[in-house]
Structure 1
Amino acid sequence: MTSPLALTKPEASTSTFRTVALASLGGALEFYDFVIFVYFAVVIGQLFFPPSQPEWLRQLQTFGIFAAGYLARPLGGAILSHFGDKSGRKRIFTLSVLMMALPTLCIGLLPSYGNAGVAAPLLLLLMRILQGAAIGGEAPGGWVFVAEHAPSNQRGLAVGLLTSGLNGGILLGSLVAALTNSYFSTIQIMNGIWRLPFLIGGMLGLIAMLMRRWLSETPVFEELRKQVMIPAEIPLREALRAHKRAIVLSMVSTWALTAAIIVVILMTPVILQTTFSLPVSAVHFANLAAILALCTSSITVGAATDHFGLERVAVPMYTFLIVASLALYLGVIWKPWSLLPLYILAGLAAGCVTITPILMTRMFPAALRFSGISFSYNVTYAVAGGVSPLLVSWLAHLHRMGPAIYVALSAVLGIIAVRFRRDEEA
């Protein structure tokens, strides 16, 4: 079968750059909506569960609701990707932002336990599940959308820009939480200020949805429709049947991605405070710098793959992640003052996360691309999101270098996935 991607080769244009910019902005806002929950977990736990409960139980229930968003990702991704492969990328790409914006807006309007009783946490859980379903379609859909819009010699850059935008949502959430806690007292936040980040996120999400309506369908999908190559059966079923190798390697590569994001970016600040007894303010500032470095590196890595090839970039970047992670944890043991520069290096190394979506967009044929990527990415992320925090916390308890060793082993998996891949497209 002739590859549809080979039949249509988008040219670089102002329209292409606008498409990538709008997609990246929408992705940042959607990821902001998804992660802002965790930055206000303590407040949410106090407001949405009985005050008579012990603090540890309230926090356990709150993080359980947060985790529900991860568990909903595979199902939401499977449904959205099915229609993305059957009906078009643009329609689902726009829908996912709406599906995220509305629940985020609703969370900011929900009654507390004191006003609604047990209905309050149940409504919160429902909103979180809807958020998870939306995010399950956002990242895979975004990667497919920009890769199929970009010319062949700029696909890595396009994917890198979108990945930077997604990570930028984490940075935005961290900044908003920091500013809120800096300018308002705990009592003010408890009395209603906590709602503002959710209301703002929901409104920005609706604006992003309107902006995405200006985007056009990808040339690749238009060619599929023109050539009557839309899959007749369920795309995911076909992907699981005929592209097992691509799915396995995509899942392996995604595990490496989760190690860089979940461990290096999200868990390391807590580990540095609890296991290494570093001051909260220094850790928080270093983490912000690392996320900014990650956003920058994501773009650089994507552009580099266009010029040097995927494998020539992937192997050095994963090796860099191994070295930088070990250096970060060793450095704060020997010289705590080195935290900031070492965490920035780790953030730059974490830019290897761009390799995973580039790898996945190459391994699946266009007709099944959305479904294949969505299944591989979301299932792996759901498992990693549940397993990694527990496993890494246990490893940190056994030895302070445990988290860095986990990241290093995961990076080796990333190298293996790249070395054994088979690209569907030339």
Structure 2
Amino acid sequence: MSNHRAAPSAPSPMASSASASRPLSKPMVITAITVGSGLELYDSVVYNFFATLIGPLYFPVTDRVGQLLLSFAAFGVGYVMRPVGGLVIGAYADRVGRKPAVVLTLWLMALSAALLVLTPTYAQIGIAAPILMTAARLLQGFAIGGEMGPASAMLLEYADERSRGFYTSWQPFSQGLAAVFAALVALSLANVLPPSTLTAWGWRVAFVIGVLVIPVSVMIRSRLDETLVPTKWGDSTAETHWQLVTHHWRALTATVLLMIGLASAVHMVVFYLPNYAAIQLHIPLSQSIWAGFVGSLLLMILSPFSGWLSDRIGRRTVVWWSRLAMLALIYPAFVMLNSHPSLATVLTVAALLGIPMAMTSPATLVLVSEVLPQRLRATGLSVSYYVATVIFGSFAQFFSTLLIHLTHNANAPAYYVIGCGLLSLAGLAMVPETMGRRLK
């Protein structure tokens, strides 16, 4: 494993290790860093798959559309805290170190997942039920917001100048793997348990699985080597993160715009498409979940290739062509869905849209990571990603459902993705190619 660091002052892994244990192997390093991101998407996908079941249990609205909107809003509200978590924990990671930050986020995720598992329904405890459910989503959002930036920065800083794209690609790979596993868990529960049992308590089993993984993940992460020299709170870098806005506003703006296209694409393919198939096309949930599985599988399979390719032909080239492909395919895909509403069509569309989604994810992530200096990387990456995700990603399902209801146009979600994609191309035009460059 290359131990190149983004700054020459960074300590070597062997010097920074406080224990006498053997250094982790390359696969274990990647696993340890990316496990939190995997848990993030696992919980989100599980919640999304069971949103139509959770809604009636916690949001007692008689109107079905209103119930769906509230359920999707509860899904989206967790994202509101992600920029806050990114700012707070990202600043902590940029000053104290990546390792303590990524361990902290895992424990916070464990607490939020436990709340999701243990919270009684509205019929059992009344108004406290939706309040606790929302609180769990907010805490989870805060933890996840602080997870992605430090973890991605750590992956980047473990790599050398010829492999940063490949190393960073394991972040979206872990998310795809977790989403595939979440889909398999959801499909198993939906097909094995009777509908009444699934509604009563079966859906909680999926969240229990996520909780059980966290203690093991903490143990593995505790063996990671630090990739950043910690700074003291009283030194001259105390105003550093304000400089992210004052001195690096162009890079910050570009990363937000780039993340808009990424967030809308991922949420549309992995999260919204299964629900769209169930609600608009009247395909049973036990079958429509396969759409999320296909999209997630492609994200898992193609992410390492996309990262490797970005190390060979450039980050901007991979992002440009994958975004154009998504813009070209999204509208015909929805026309196909509504013209031939069947499971085969849904899976075909998931595959067609999943390819550009999977190709753009790693290349975008490494590009936005490289345009920020090391002392601002975790904060800038976290905040830009989650600001874009809160507005254009997490509420994509909410806005798409609302647009369909208001316009009576079943293809409205396609226009939403096209708008987000065009904004992201403006961000791409603002950044230089970073392949092979020495990091700041």
In structure 1, distance between residues paired with 2:410 and 2:69: 24
In structure 1, distance between residues paired with 2:235 and 2:44: 32
Which residue is 2:6 aligned to? 5
Q: Name the count of aligned residue pairs.
A: 417
Alignment of 1:3-42 (within 5 A): 5=6, 7=8, 15-42=25-52
Which residue is 2:170 aligned to? 161
In structure 1, distance between residues paired with 2:284 and 2:128: 38
| 8 Å CA contact 1:31, 1:135 repeated in 2 | no
Superposition TM-score, scaled by structure 1 size: 0.87
Structure richer in helix, relative to its length: 1
How far residue 384 of structure 1 moved from its aligned partner, in angstroms, is 1.5
| 8 Å CA contact 2:91, 2:378 repeated in 1 | yes
| 8 Å CA contact 2:46, 2:182 repeated in 1 | yes
Percent identity, aligned pairs only, is 25
Which residue is 1:240 aligned to? 245
Which residue is 1:79 aligned to? 88
Which residue is 2:378 aligned to? 370
How far residue 173 of structure 1 moved from its aligned partner, in angstroms, is 2.3
| 8 Å CA contact 1:45, 1:61 repeated in 2 | yes
Alignment of 1:332-351 (within 5 A): 332=337, 338-351=345-358
1:220-243: CA deviation from partner (whole Å, max 9, x where unpaired):
x13x769x9986224431201110
CA separation of 1:278/1:322 partners in 2, compared to 1, >3 Å: closer, same or farther?
A: farther
In structure 2, distance between residues paired with 1:105 and 1:90: 23
In structure 1, distance between residues paired with 2:387 and 2:153: 17
Three-state SS of the structure 2 residue aligned to 1:214 is coil
| 8 Å CA contact 1:297, 1:349 repeated in 2 | no
CA separation of 1:385/1:215 partners in 2, compared to 1, >3 Å: closer, same or farther?
A: same
CA separation of 1:117/1:332 partners in 2, compared to 1, >3 Å: closer, same or farther?
A: closer
1:345-366: CA deviation from partner (whole Å, max 9, x where unpaired):
2111101122321121111100
Three-state SS of the structure 2 residue aligned to 1:68 is helix
| 8 Å CA contact 1:85, 1:230 repeated in 2 | no
How far residue 155 of structure 1 moved from its aligned partner, in angstroms, is 0.9
Aligned with residue 199 of structure 1, among 195, 202, 208 = 208
Alignment of 1:145-160 (within 5 A): 145-160=154-169
In structure 2, distance between residues paired with 1:19 and 1:230: 31
| 8 Å CA contact 2:319, 2:364 repeated in 1 | no
Q: Which amino acid in 2 is paired with 1:262?
A: H
| 8 Å CA contact 1:32, 1:169 repeated in 2 | yes
In structure 2, distance between residues paired with 1:80 and 1:95: 9
How far residue 74 of structure 1 moved from its aligned partner, in angstroms, is 1.3
Q: Which amino acid in 1 is paired with 2:87?
A: A
**Is 1:97 the counterpart of 2:106 in the alignment?**
yes
Which residue is 1:302 aligned to? 307
Aligned with residue 287 of structure 1, among 289, 292, 298 = 292
In structure 2, distance between residues paired with 1:125 and 1:41: 13
Aligned with residue 417 of structure 2, among 400, 407, 426 = 407
How far residue 367 of structure 1 moved from its aligned partner, in angstroms, is 0.8
| 8 Å CA contact 1:326, 1:404 repeated in 2 | yes
Aligned with residue 106 of structure 1, among 88, 92, 115 = 115
Q: For the aligned residues, what is the CA RMSD? A: 3.1
| 8 Å CA contact 2:314, 2:433 repeated in 1 | no
List alignment gaps of at least 5 residues for structure 2.
14-22
Aligned with residue 44 of structure 1, among 38, 54, 57 = 54
How far residue 150 of structure 1 moved from its aligned partner, in angstroms, is 1.4
1:81-107: CA deviation from partner (whole Å, max 9, x where unpaired):
110111001110111111111220232
Q: Which amino acid in 2 is paired with 1:149?
A: Y
In structure 1, distance between residues paired with 2:215 and 2:8: 35
CA separation of 1:385/1:349 partners in 2, compared to 1, >3 Å: closer, same or farther?
A: closer
In structure 2, distance between residues paired with 1:59 and 1:403: 16
1:176-225: CA deviation from partner (whole Å, max 9, x where unpaired):
2211111111222344333222222111122212221121112xx13x76
Superposition TM-score, scaled by structure 2 size: 0.84
Three-state SS of the structure 2 residue aligned to 1:108 is helix
Q: Which amino acid in 2 is paired with 1:171?
A: V
